[in-house]
Structure formats: structure tokens, C-alpha cells
Amino acid sequence: MPTDDELRERILDAAEQVFADHGYEGTRVRMVAAAAGVAPHTVRRLTGDRSELFAQVMAARVTSDAAERIAEAVADPGAAPPAAALLDAADEVFTSPSRSWEILELEAMTRAHRDPQLREIESVRVQRRWDNAREVIRQAQRAGGLDPDVDPEAVTHLALALSVGLAMVDPVVRIRPRAEDWGALIARIVEAVSPAEPLLSPDHIPESPWRVRVDVSDVPGGVARLVRALDALHTYTIGLQVVDAEGGYRTVDVALRAPSTVTEDALLATALASGRAAYVTRGPVGAWESWEEPVAALLNGAARLVTNPSLAPSVAATLLEADHVEVTRATEGADDSPNVLRLQWTPDLHVVLQRSWAPFARAERARASALLQLSAAISVVRGEAEALGSVEPIKDGAVWIRLARPDDADEVAAMHDRSSERTRYLRYVTTTQWREAQLHRLAGGHRGATLVAVDVSSRIVGLGNIFPETSDPEGRSAELALIVEDAFQGRGVGTVLMRHEVALARRLGFSEVVAVVLAENTGMLRLLEHSGLDWTSTIDSGVATWRAPLDEGPVRDPDRDRAADPHGSTPRHDPRPQGATGGQLKPSDDT
């Protein structure tokens, strides 16, 4: 025989389901009794009439995750910074609107306009939420995180209205923002009502290290706005550095400590409220207690390389806080991508770094590349390696041929900008594809190798790529591609680039080279004819494919032997059209 308490629990369970299925207006006591397996008079005896039963269901069964978070913050003010509690509650409201305001409560609120009993029930419930939210807002004001001149009743009213409205429209709205965008909006609102000069009370101990990277507007106050927003979470900024600047934004890296109750989502929302493309991870990843200036870290790594140049890959990985580092043959491994950094170390070896928590920035690429260059130079001085790079005479001057580096990307772009549309078209079969391709890969972040030709004023005037041919599964063929800017065409730059490309392809172990050239590019075809290789060619739809085996000997350079053109430049009687000279090849799939 069940006790009254057991029967009451059974009735409340049944009533919760019946009210949810039929609503308040459609529910009758006899329906609840039937669902609970008891007589109607038992329901009335233990729980009262319909309105009393509904009130008990609301009190005993209807809960709210967001309301509970706020209530916990009120009960234990030192548990979490008030701003963090508000952000966490906002996240709960967004991710689970129906758990923040259940359908029964929403119906009760809509019917409260006509039903005095329901209005009284909901007034009591909403007042509890109101009081708790207002207390958290007052805590934030006392802690210095919110402007004391802002009316806490007004902020509370706005917060409740937002949460109820979100729950009401959730079943019918077709387009919802991303969770990170919603969090950024709430963080922006919290920031808007924070003091102009926040001085936070030290109530919350910042004991958890974090790392935040975000793009902020490249205007005065952009970085200050980020720091100010993070301050509202009672964080301590250990260090800050700008690692990139491009397109009106600065990529800012912040090492900070936050109270243990501040979540990753709260930090991410706050960062996105101040910028875009934010990344958050536990850290600082390098376990730095105080932020170490990148220059100092670079110098410390350089000191280690003086005694052991072979440490360069691990030093670079430590400097960039990479998750994984691999030394691979120049023709193997992954190409450049936002989270993969491929660097040419020697002509034969590349260093591939991977990092999951944030993409590599340009400044980081340059630092790692500088370390690898230093280690290679030290090895040459010690007689442990062969340097690749030479000064080559051309008509009316000379150029330096060397391996490309990540920090060459801007110069490579400038060289393309100085080139005519005709020149770019003959290289890419379009005038814009080179920009759409990943510029860092074009400047060396790919399997194979990239060479640049540098003039006496340190400008890059030519670019040569060696790609493993994608259609060759055995990896024996290398596709050659090069471009020379207009002002240096006809002076032999293409000839010396081609000679170094072929020599490097042979050094990398390729047994064949391939050039895919537009048939109208007579200048490039002439360059191939005079390269000293034994070419065979086919043509299809206006595109010529030239192939030549690589022997063991040096590449013959017939142009150097001709008295009419001792530096490999184009004969003066050559009838090639303007803009078609130099070494513009059709790109491979790898570019």
C-alpha cells in the first residue's frame, strides 16, 4: 500500500506530463488522476485543485539551468567573477532555451494576463529570478566590473526579457546565430556597461593560465579594448604581443591568468566581443610564468644553435609552441596550411611544424625561418653542409639565386604586382589565380622547393617552383614553373632560374622534369629548347607538355656559349611578342 508521499510524487509526475501534452487550459484533474492510476478525489486531497496542482508541478518539477547558475553565484559570491557568471548563464540560455524557460512556464506566463491565479504563481517564480539576477549585477558593480551608475533593475529587466524572448521564438525561428557570435554579443553588452576605468577588487584569485589569440581592429584603442574586456573577468594580463598586422586588423597574442571558475567559453566570448577569429587554449603553452619577448626567445634559441645546429627544428618548434615537428625530405610531407608551417631548411630537407590551437602568423613564420637560416649558415661555416645560393651574371647586371623564405611572401606579391597582366596570364592562365593560391605556399611552403632571383636592390624579380608532379604516383617527376617580372625579361633571369631548378630537381632525386606551357608562350618554349635537356613534347587544346629525363651530369647551357648572348639573354632578332619572354609556366595543381 503506497503512502501519501509516494502517491503525491506519482501524481506530480503524471501531472507534469499531462500539462506538457495538453497545456494548462486543456488539463483536467480527472485526466491527471487517470494518468497516475488514482481516484480524482485522491488528487484533490493530496495536491488540491488544478491551479494548486499546477503550482506544485512548477515548484517541484520545473527547473532552469541558467537560473540555477545565477542562484549559485548569489549563494557563493566568491565562486566566480560576476561577469563570468552572467556569460555562463547567457550561454545556457542560448544553447538550451527550453531548459531555461520550460514550455509549462512559458504557457503560464502567457495565460497570466487573464488568470489571476497563474499570475500570482508566476509573479513569485519570476521575482526569485529577478532578485538573483539583480544581486549578481550588484556584485559586479561592487567588484568594479560594471558601471555603478547603471541601474541594476534596468539591466535585470533586459536580461530576463532577452532570455524569455529567446525561449519563446526558439521553436519557430529558422535562422540562429552561431554560439560564439551570441556569446560575443553578450560580452559586448557586458563591456558596454562596464566602467571606463575598471579597477577590480581582488576577490577572485587568478590561478589558471590561459592563452588568447584574436584579431583586433588596427586602430588606436583596439588592443586596449580587448584588455579592458578581459579585465571584466578578473583576469591578469601577463604579457601581450602583436604577431601580425594585415587587412586593417592586428593579431594579438595575450598570456593571462584567470580565476579557476572562468571558462574557456567565457574567454572566447569576451575575445570575440573585441575582435574576430579568436582562439583560446590553456597555457601559456610554453609554460612561461612571465611573458618572454619573442626577440629574447629567438636569441636564446640561436645560442643553442651555435653549439649544435642540428637542434634547429626543435628550437623552432619551441619558439612557435608547435604541437608536432617533423624533419622530412623536400618532396614529402604536408604542404602549408593555416595550422601547418612548412619551411625549407636545406635544399634536401624541410621542417614541418603543426599546431592545433591557433594558426601560424606571418611574424612566427619569419622567426622560425630565421632560426633555420641561422642553423644552415652555422653548418656551412663549420664545413658540415653545402650552401645553396649563388650570384649569377645577367645582361646589364647580376641576380642572387637562393631558396625562398616565408618572409619573402610580401616581396613575391610585389613582384607579381609589378608584372603585367600578360606575364601573369602566361604563368597562371589567369591574372588573379596567384593571389587566390596560398601566397606562403607559393613562396616556399610546399613539397619540392622554391627559388627566388634577387636583384642588387634586394627586390625579388623572379620566382621558380619545383613541385612533385601530382599525376606521378611514384614521385619521380618534378614539374617546373617560373615567372620573371617584365623589367627583367630578356636579360637571362629565366635562363639561370631554369638551370638552378633543374640542378635542384636532380639533387632532390627526381629522374624527370615536366613543363606545362601555353602554346602561345613562345618565349618559354624557346627557353626550354635552349636548356640543354632532351625534351619530348605533346600539345593538347593549346597547352604544350614538355618532358625530359635527368641524367647525372650538369645541365648544359648552350646560351652561355653563344657570343651573341653571353649571359643567356634573348637574341635581339627574336620576334617574340612583348611580355612573352622570361619563364612563365602554366601552374601545376600544387600551386
Rounded Cα–Cα distance for residues 17 and 212 (Å):
46
Task: Look up the pTM and report it.
Answer: 0.62
Amino acid residing at 320: L
Walk me through the domains of the chain, giving residue ranges and CATH numbers.
4-61 (1.10.10.60), 65-192 (1.10.357), 206-282 (3.30.70.260), 294-381 (no CATH), 390-561 (3.40.630.30)
Q: Greater confidence, 456 or 35?
A: 35
Rounded Cα–Cα distance for residues 544 and 526 (Å):
13
The closest alpha carbon to 504, from 401, 371, 376, 574, belongs to 401
Q: Which three cell numbers stand for residue 20?
A: 506538457
Q: Greater confidence, 343 or 193?
A: 343
Residue 160's pLDDT is 87
540 exposed, middle or buried (CB, 10 Å; 0-12, 13-18, 19+)? exposed
The closest alpha carbon to 186, from 166, 202, 203, 213, belongs to 166
Give the residue-averaged pLDDT of 565-579.
30
Give the residue-averaged pLDDT of 12-30.
87
Q: Greater confidence, 494 or 220?
A: 494
State the angle between helix axes of 29-36 and 50-61 in degrees (0 to 180), rounded to the nearest 10.
50
Q: Which residues, including other chains, have CB under 8 Å from residue 73's CB and lie 6 or more apart?
A: 79, 80, 82, 85, 132, 136, 139
| DSSP single-letter state for residue 521 | -
Inter-residue contact 190 to 87 (CB < 8 Å): yes
Give the residue-averaged pLDDT of 493-521.
92
Give the residue-averaged pLDDT of 483-502.
94
- Beta-bridged to residue 14, according to DSSP, are none
pLDDT tens for 430-466 read 766 666 555 666 666 788 888 999 998 889 999 998 9
Rounded Cα–Cα distance for residues 120 and 126 (Å):
10
Question: Above 70 in pLDDT, residue 290?
Answer: no
Give the residue-averaged pLDDT of 352-359.
90
Give the residue-averaged pLDDT of 234-239.
85
Q: What is residue 389's three-state secondary structure?
A: strand
Q: What residue spans of 242-307 are helical by DSSP H?
A: 264-274, 294-307
pLDDT tens for 368-427 read 888 888 888 887 777 666 666 788 889 988 898 988 887 788 889 899 999 999 998 888
Residue 590's pLDDT is 33
Least confident of 269-278, 428-437, 535-544: 428-437
State the angle between helix axes of 152-169 and 82-95 in degrees (0 to 180), rounded to the nearest 10.
20
pLDDT band (50, 70, 90) for residue 335: confident
The whole-chain average pLDDT of the chain stands at 80
Q: What residue spans of 50-173 are helical by DSSP H?
A: 50-61, 65-75, 82-95, 97-100, 103-111, 116-142, 152-169
Q: Which residues, including other chains, have CB under 8 Å from residue 5's CB and lie 6 or more apart?
A: none
Residue 320's pLDDT is 86
- Contacts of 122-125 with CB under 8 Å at 24 or more apart are 125/58, 125/59
Residue 575's pLDDT is 27
Rounded Cα–Cα distance for residues 428 and 518 (Å):
10
Give the residue-averaged pLDDT of 300-304.
79
CA separation, residue 134 to residues 97, 199, 271, 299, 541 (Å): 20, 21, 25, 53, 74
Rounded Cα–Cα distance for residues 226 and 268 (Å):
11
Q: Which three cell numbers stand for residue 431?
A: 591574372
Residue 37's pLDDT is 92
pLDDT band (50, 70, 90) for residue 501: very high
Rounded Cα–Cα distance for residues 108 and 470 (Å):
66
pLDDT tens for 538-557 read 999 889 999 999 975 544 44
What would you measure as the largest C-alpha separation in the chain, in angstroms?
118
